[in-house]
Chains A and B, each alone.
Chain A
Amino acid sequence: MSVSRKSPASTETPVDLLPTPSHTVGPFYGYALPFPEGEQVAPKGHPDTVTLHGYVLDGEGNPIPDALLEFWQAAADGSLAGAPGSLRRDPVTGGFLGRNGTDFTGFGRVATDADGHYALYTLPPGNAGLPYISVCVFARGLLTHLYTRAYLADGADPLLDSLPAERRATLVAAEGERRTYRFDIRLQGEGETVFLEFE
């Protein structure tokens, strides 16, 4: 399918193209999408590092071992500009060098392990309002990805305040010891996580 030949150049009247449909990530992305230090968004050893972690669960409460999570957030100073270098590559071998230890890219990608567990090491986001990390969920069986938010604090927030208490609680990560935050994602059923759409 080619739409380019039918669409005008970008300087002409805007067109309204129809979007490319989503499809499931399938079971075999594991050798393609995850990359070393995808979970290490904070510069290693940074004293402000927090750990966001939890399980991804299906409608029967079973862990999902083949989910892929992506995370996007503001930097500690509130910047949403991001930075390149999440997948920093080695031009000699074609492999991965890991992050450069100084830049904050704001982007993380983590595959769940055999227990359906994930962990992300990052810095507290400095976005306006309550701090939150945007989470995008992909999995075999999920035909279109899902968005949610992991809030690292509770309080006044337009989204949280629009939800009944029980549902609101699914978006607020539980603070634990040593700067850890527990955030489980339930795709279906009891305690189903609130998922978002953007208009």
Chain B
Amino acid sequence: MALTQSDIDAEVGDLQDAYDKAVAAGAPVQNHPPRDYAPYRSSVLRHPKQPLVAVSGGDPETVELSGPVFGVTDVTDIDSDLTIQHQGEPLGERITVSGRLLDRNGRPVRGQLIELWQANASGRYAHLRDQHPAPLDPNFTGVGRVLTDDQGRYRFTTIKPGAYPWRNHTNAWRPAHIHFSVFGTAFTQRLVTQMYFPNDPLFRYDPILRSVTDEAARNRLVAEYNHDLSQPEFSLGYEWDIVLDGPSATWIEEGRD
């Protein structure tokens, strides 16, 4: 029998309670989702059962402590404006999404590549496998790229994506989100994640967001509405800073491991 939303809610609630109790009893805060999170059904056969093997960061020749670099050849001028990539204007609510890319010391990550992709305003991806009956928009693909500036700042102009259904369980809906892919100075800092919009009523029902069992960590995935970023007669502004995890060669050079 197909799983219902209440089946999923019960599983999510149990895992949330277990996490909250563990932290109250002194267990470490988990900043990232566990890979084994059964309410997100696709994770069941796709997570390792053996523990990860630690590679200690003491050796500066460890390849993963450096990472790929990108430059002006890797982006074009219109990549950061998803509303001008076609002949006409896309439908939907125009938004500006901006923020800073930082490491855990609060230092800006400069000149690095940020990529994003998203559904259109109706909640449909320009992807053959997305066949749910919402319209495609001939004026919107939903792919953007930008290099961070000298302050680590990025800025995109796009359309607010719609929520959309998926098949994790009956009546499953993803809250509106934008996928982000981000590079740091080290390959260890690689991050792929999703940015959400404030106060979405679907948050509590979504096993992907709820897989981040730490509430404060979950909140870090939600952009802040920033009226100063809104542009008169043009777009609404959302601010979202991204903080990269993982050691890098610079940490070792400064004696931090």
Residues in A lying within 8 Å of B, measured CB to CB: 1-4, 7-8, 10, 14-33, 58-60, 62, 64, 70, 72-74, 80-91, 94, 100, 105-107, 125, 127-129, 132, 134, 136, 138-147, 158-159, 162-163, 167, 187-189, 192-199
Contacts and interface: CB of A to CB of B under 8 A. Distances in A.
Nearest to A11: B107
Q: Is the interface of B mostly helix, strand, loop or mixed?
A: loop
28 contacts: A1-B222, A2-B226, A2-B240, A4-B100, A16-B104, A19-B243, A20-B191, A20-B245, A21-B217, A23-B33, A28-B130, A31-B117, A31-B141, A32-B117, A32-B142, A32-B179, A70-B190, A74-B63, A84-B73, A87-B73, A138-B192, A141-B43, A143-B35, A143-B40, A163-B53, A188-B48, A196-B54, A199-B54
A80 B35 CA distance: 30
Contacts, number: 288
Contacts of A23: 33, 179, 192-194, 208, 211-212, 221
Interface of B: 31-35, 37, 40, 42-50, 52-57, 59, 61-79, 85, 99-100, 102-108, 115-117, 119, 125-127, 129-130, 141-143, 145, 179, 181, 187-188, 190-194, 208, 211-212, 214, 216-224, 226, 239-247, 257
Contacts of A62: 45
Contacts of A196: 52-55, 64
Contacts of A14: 105-107
B249 to A, nearest CB: 8
Main secondary structure of the interface of A (DSSP, over half): loop
5 closest pairs, A vs B, by CB?
A84-B71, A141-B42, A32-B117, A107-B68, A19-B245
A28 B99 contact: no
B69 A84 contact: yes
A188 B46 contact: yes
Nearest to A59: B45
Nearest to A125: B63
Given A72-B63, A82-B69, A162-B53, A17 B129 contact: no
A117 B37 CA distance: 26
Contact of B99 (A2, A8, A32): A2
A86 B115 CA distance: 14
Given A143-B43, A145-B192, A4 B241 contact: yes
A74 to B, nearest CB: 6
B47 A80 contact: no
B50 A192 contact: yes
A188 B43 CA distance: 11
B46 A139 contact: yes
Contact of A29 (B54, B73, B179): B179
Nearest to B98: A2
Contacts of B240: 1-2
Contacts of A163: 53
Nearest to B104: A17
B127 A31 contact: yes
A194 B47 contact: no
Nearest to B85: A94
Given A20-B220, A59-B46, A141-B42, A87 B78 contact: no
Contacts of B55: 159, 196-199
Contacts of A90: 76
Contacts of A86: 68, 70, 74
Contacts of A145: 190, 192
Nearest to B247: A198
A17 B105 contact: yes
A64 B46 CA distance: 9
